[in-house]
Chains A and B, each alone.
Chain A
Amino acid sequence: MHRKHLNSFKIYITLILTSIILSGCWDVMEVNDLAIVIATGIDQIEEEQIEVTFLLYVPNPSGAASGEVSGSSKNSYSISMTGDTFSDAVMKLESEVPREIFWGHSNIFIFGSELAKNELGKQLDFLVRTAEPREQSQIYISQEKAKVEVDKFVSINTAELFSKLPKSRYLKSMTLKDIEEMLVNNSQAGLIPISNTNSVKTSEDTIDSFAVKGSAIIYQGKMISSISGEKDIGSQWLLFPKTNIPININPDGKNGKVSAETIKKSIKLSPLLEDKTWSIKIKINTDLLILQNSTSLDIYNPTVMNQMKKEFSKKIKADIEEFLNHIQKDLKADVLQFYEAFHRSYPKETDDVKENWEEQFENIKVSIQVEVKIKNPGVTNLNIENK
């Protein structure tokens, strides 16, 4: 009995001791030795020179001592580094900041539009190659210089804001993983939302906050176009299944507008290859919620309701067509990953046109079918104009 216990005891001790020498386990990192990266901006300042701006969170000791835990502005610092590449700039930062650079909570990467136009793909490589940046972080392309935007975030509670970005039902967001998937495909085209700043007034002064305005089309590792307005809304229908989209229509011959919001939408691509004609059917199902009716129409009336449905689908279809025309005819960038859709159904035929997909893509016939359901025409029907 004694001997048996002694043996199991020995086994435990050996287990513990051997686990210590397992490689990769001994990487203790105390929280107070970290410089937590919250946002990163990447710019091209001149030929072959990359400037990276980091928004770091370093706790403010004096703030903590007084027992005041604010977690906001006072502890955010922005710092810029230049280097030959993105990674070079990061390494320089590592050697200049006494703390360990911690990427685990880096929620947002903003690429300057200048850089995006020239070598976005080359710099994205660092993010997808190294293990530390998260695949779930959001990627944006800035309207102005990324440095300018990141610097502005010092004054707001950015960490909290950025952690909420992916959950937002209205702000478009693309994760690093989404973009990786888009660009790695044969179509080599993708779409990244464009970020901007908004001025927000507080009681004391004006500060800048984060905003999303329009999108950029990426093709072969470079930004080739920026879209906004109807084209952008069209892209949202096809590429951002989770965000809600506002729709305004102007029913024929009536004064005023009817505004609605999507509460649910689904999209289905069905490719068809017949007699060497490439065609694809995009079917969109959507549920709408009427937000405002400034016309004299009575939406509760079934005939009017049906008319509304038609009007809405027409509007949605128009927006999508606008976007499709732009990417198909003007840019020849297969942002919607049609290649993948065809490849799944007709692998052999698609492989044959792999080399000149650009040409093929331009000639694909797209038919759009929109099915609108008005889930909620509003709580009450006031119709002021009728009375």
Chain B
Amino acid sequence: MKTADLHLKEFIKSYEFLPSSLEEKTKILKEIYKNCDDIVLHPFFSKQSAYLLIFVSGLCDEEKIHEHIVRPIQHTSIVSPELPLIISHVTNITNTKILSNTLEIIDEIADGNTILFNDIENKAVSYRITSYEKRSIEEPQAESVVIGSREGFIESISTNLSLVRRKIKTPSLKMSSMVIGTYSHTSIYISYIEGIASLQIVEDVKEKLTKLNVDAVLSNASIEEALEDNWSSPFPQVQYSERPEVVAAALLEGRVAIFIDGIPFVLMVPVTLFTLLQTPEDYTERFINGTLSRWLRYFFLMVALLAPSAYIAILTFHQEMIPTTLLLRIAQSREEIPFPAFLEALIMQVIFEVLREAGIRLPKQMGSTVSIVGTLVIGQAAIQAGLVSAPMVMIVAITGISSFLLPQYTLSIVLRWIPFPVMFLSGMLGLVGLMLGVLIIASHLCSLRSFGVSYLAPLAPNDSSLLKDVLIRVPLKFMKKRPSIYSSINPNRRNEGK
């Protein structure tokens, strides 16, 4: 395989420019696209000269090729076969490019463009009439909102770019392209608003992505890993969104968005913990509701993280902290449970994870069956069988529900397993262990940076002027400044003088 691959590369290199003769060109192209049966080489003739069309079937609109390229050339009265003349006078397709380099030509073919050769020039015309099957714009699945736009990104990068371009119409919105993947040639766009985004971050993103050397970009993971500052941290350092308005808002805050072809999500950097805890709905709802739901989310983030651990710690070390009547009830329901509270919590928590995983992996139609079996049968039966106590089932259920409250899926999967070590610590050391766990997590979060921005900003380091969009969500008329943590180039959101 390797020798064949090398052979092809050598071959292409030896023909940096194609010869003028159509016959020779055909021979070379046939050699390059040997055994590629989806590549169509179509020779045809006008009254005076011969031409060759090459395109990938399925990526081009073949009807358009026939209608706008082949037929006009065949019926033209213009004698000269020169390519500029054909573009301007014969064919009626506007998005064209004249190419001479072989490698460029090959890339254009792969992108789904149609290439036309004539018999006298060593150049070619690329017609952009790409048309392939793609999903239509649908409502986002992972980030649904009640009030707000129903558009979601799709797999086609050009559509995604246009969705954002439609929200921000200024020419300051830059989309700089890049191709990554030795084999996949995936196109990637780095998008930012000039004059708002910090140039250093933009350069940093470009540099990190240029350094990335992979075979193919099939999933977002390879890009995400390249962008992370700390690969070993469990916390996500890239924000995903499938909503154009979220990306637009991020761009306006001075952040950088990365579009990847074939992935219906757009990546955004830098990231702070609090951006991951915000939903688009925080801003569509009235500010009081936005603030309250934000508080709810912060509180249940702590519940998701600490509820089982706190229960274990208090139940096994600090019984005097429980109200007497509650303790007596817990004592009664725990009387026949053979396991210590820690083991009991571990069993339930693992069962819950299994149910959750099963619910995701199974086809949609089966998912509800799993949840019914899981909740009703296992929950009820486990209590009756005396494996776990009823309060523990409740604690685990609350923990599970709480983790669903988090808007970023990448963050909520972290919270699926982070509680386990904390549970272990509090099972050993009680509330001391719990605090130890919290301390470790907190110090890790404090040390985390995303493109030089502290992960806990603006809480640590504290910037009280920004807390109004973190601790509460003040009405938009009070948010006159952009968050200074990302960029300080253009701090005012308002057009000055107006």
Contacts and interface: CB of A to CB of B under 8 A. Distances in A.
Would you call the interface of chain B mostly helix, strand, loop, or mixed?
A: helix
Interface in B121-155: none
A296 interface: no
Interface string B221-248: 0000000001010000000000000000
A245 interface: no
B325 A36 contact: no
Interface stretch (A24-32, A260-268, A339-347, A361-369): A24-32
Interface stretch (B90-98, B161-169, B330-338): B330-338
A69 B332 contact: yes
B400 interface: no
A138 to B, nearest CB: 13
Nearest to B340: A30
A159 interface: yes
Contact of B429 (A20, A32, A60, A69): A20
Interface string B296-331: 000000000000000000011101100111011111
Contacts of A356: none
A241 interface: no
Given A5-B232, A32-B334, A102 B319 contact: yes
B432 interface: yes
Interface stretch (A11-19, A199-207, A284-292): A11-19
Given A15-B440, A36-B331, A67-B384, A30 B341 contact: yes
A107 B340 contact: no
Interface string A121-153: 000000000000010000000000000000000
Interface residues of B, number: 36
Contacts of A5: 230, 232
A31 B317 contact: no
Contact of B317 (A28, A64, A70, A163): A28
Contact of A31 (B341, B433, B447): B341
Given A19-B429, A27-B317, A105 B333 contact: no
Interface of A: 5, 8-9, 12, 15-16, 19-20, 22, 25-32, 34, 36, 38, 57, 59-61, 63-65, 67, 69-71, 75, 102, 104-105, 107, 134, 159-160, 162-163
8 closest residue pairs by CB, A with B: A104-B320, A59-B332, A59-B335, A163-B324, A105-B324, A71-B328, A64-B335, A31-B331
Given A5-B232, A28-B316, 19 more contacts: A8-B447, A12-B440, A16-B436, A22-B429, A22-B432, A25-B430, A28-B340, A28-B428, A29-B316, A29-B317, A31-B316, A36-B327, A36-B328, A36-B331, A64-B332, A67-B384, A75-B328, A134-B320, A162-B324
Interface of B: 230, 232, 315-317, 319-320, 323-325, 327-337, 340-341, 384, 386, 425, 427-430, 432-433, 436, 440, 444, 447
